[in-house]
Amino acid sequence: MTANIDRDRIALLTKQMEERLLAQTLRSGEFVDEAKRVLPAGVASSFQDQPPHPVYIVEGRGSRVTDLDGNVYTDYHNGFGVMVVGHAHPVIVEAISNAAHKGTHFAAPNQAAVRVATELSRRFRLPKVRFSNSGTEATLDAVRLGRAFTGKDALIKIEGSYHGHHDAVMVSVGPDPDMMGPRARPVSVPQTAGIPSALLDLTVVVPFNDPDALDKALSERDDIGTMIIEPIMLNIGVVPPLDGYLEAVREITAKHGVVLIFDEVKTGATIAAGGVVERYGVVPDLIALAKATGGGTPIGAVLGTEEIMGQISSGKVTQIGTFNGNPLTMAAAEATLTKVLDGSAYQKLEDAGNRILAGCQDVCDRYGLPAYAVGMSSKGCVMFSTERVIDYRSYVAGFDEDLNYLGWLYHMTNGVYMTPGADEQWTLSVSHSDEELGHYVAVFEEFARDVTS
């Protein structure tokens, strides 16, 4: 049975926990004022801004990070899902150090890039690879390749999905419910000021987990040549595809002659060696990778079929970047993919993921929390919603932001560094111990007991 949640009590606990976090992070609080003199909001990326104030991190080792005030936390944020290898892993440090000693940048071909590309191609079952430096660049390249291949300008994406910060995909990422229009025909809502309105008509939006809506949208407009989809939605917690959905997406896009891009920036190398492609057995035309594949260095990659990627070799599509495939990143990526994230690492992540999910679900059940635990392998979260979230609209309708924020404060004030905001999830690393996972669940239980008593 779902417990009754006393909203006044939640507000009071939130105030107390915020005060505790502020007291624990005094130096971060002081520093943010200094930082604001040069960095808008005191941070290098708006994702790093968070209430009650940003917490500055000075060091990370293995599963632990230390903040400016000297507080040590077990890290479940892991750099927005990058550090599956753990912080300062000796194998990666050695690889980066060796590369640094030989010169970090030439903007010339290097052999390590070929080895990394070969490994990515093996894992993700697509023959050709090009590198860049971020997820944004990876999805930008993928969208451009799709548009060039079909000769069609319009793109279709999923409502509530994030694919980086370039114009084509900064549409309906987290639209205000008052602006998103009817479910049958979602409005394309710009995510930020500065997106030219002329571009909005080129990005069509459909709900996740709804193959009929996709088929209908593609039947209605014949100028859509490319689809980009995060096959597990990981920017509204964790929303897995329903059974058969990804297969249907593959079939429908093929039927309409639409190039299918999987955005595996978050899932790639984290939920399995070969991400969603391996886990679900569905192979798209293009894949965007970034984050965990670089082992903590800035990386992006687009993988694709011979035909689509052949546009690069022929010169039809320009894919460029000063730092693409730079030796530092390639050394870190090679060590990550061939030495650290091997079969036994993925087994460990699978077991750890199952353990933390089972622990959190048990707490939800025993305390009647209006929430459930969901995830796979290194990725997971507690969704504060009584109904299963299957798309952005069910997320907006049922998600309890207040409980989510309070849960985050409990963790932050009890030695657990977690991603702020409702949209993220935990990422486990190969360094997390059973004891640490148990601690996460124990803090979650303390929170559950307090909010339901």
CB atoms < 10 A from the CB of 202, how many? Answer: 18
Report in angstroms the alpha-carbon separations of 360 from 151, 343, 401: 48, 26, 18
Q: Identify the active-site residue in 128, 152, 157, 291.
A: 291
| Half-sphere exposure (Cβ direction) of 378: Cα atoms closer than 13 Å | 34
Interface with ligand PLP includes 392 (CB under 6 A)? no
Q: Which of 265, 271, 340, 412 binds ligand PLP (CB under 6 A)?
A: 265
| Residue 131 touches ligand PLP, criterion: CB under 6 A | no
Q: 265: which 2 tokens?
A: 């920036």
Nearer to ligand PLP, 203 or 235 (CB): 235
Beta-sheet pairing, 64-67 with 57-61: antiparallel
Instruction: Return the residue of 67, 210, 215, 263 that touches ligand PLP, per CB under 6 A.
Output: 263
Strand order in the sheet with 379-383: 372-376, 379-383, 426-427
Q: Which stretch binds ligand PLP (CB under 6 A): 91-99, 117-125, 128-136, 218-226?
A: 128-136
Considering only the stretches 53-61, 132-140, 236-244, 391-399, report the one whose residues sit in contact with ligand PLP under the rule CB under 6 A. Answer: 132-140
DSSP letters along 333-352, please?
A: HHHIIIIISSHHHHHHHHHH
For residue 164, state whether it binds ligand PLP (rule: CB under 6 A): yes
Does 162 qualify as catalytic in the annotation?
A: yes
Q: Which of 129, 260, 282, 290 binds ligand PLP (CB under 6 A)?
A: 290
Could you say whether residue 378 binds ligand PLP (CB under 6 A)? no
Q: Is 316 known to be catalytic? A: no
Q: Taking the CA atoms of the chain, what radius of gyration do you get in angstroms?
A: 22
Interatomic CA distance for residues 241 and 249, integer angstroms: 11
Alpha-carbon span 394 to 334, nearest angstrom: 40
- What is the phi/psi pair of residue 249, to 5°? -60, -45
- The 209-248 site mask, x for binding ligand PLP (CB under 6 A), equals ---------------------x----x-------------
Minimum distance from residue 164 beta carbon to ligand PLP (Å): 4
Q: State the catalytic residue, choosing from 56, 73, 76, 162.
A: 162
Ranked by CB distance to ligand PLP, the top (closest) residue is 135
Q: Decide: helix, strand or coil at residue 392.
A: helix
Q: Which residues contact 202 (CB under 8 A, 6 or more apart)?
A: 153, 154, 155, 168
Least separation in angstroms between CB 279 and ligand PLP: 16
73 near ligand PLP, judged by CB under 6 A: no
Set 263, 285, 400, 423: catalytic member: 263
**Largest separation between any pair of C-alpha atoms in the chain:** 66
CB 80 to ligand PLP: min, Å? 6
Note if 263 is an active site residue. yes
- Binding residues for ligand PLP, total number by CB under 6 A: 14
Catalytically annotated residues: 162, 263, 291
Residue ranges binding ligand PLP (CB under 6 A): 80, 134-136, 139, 162-164, 230, 235, 263, 265-266, 290
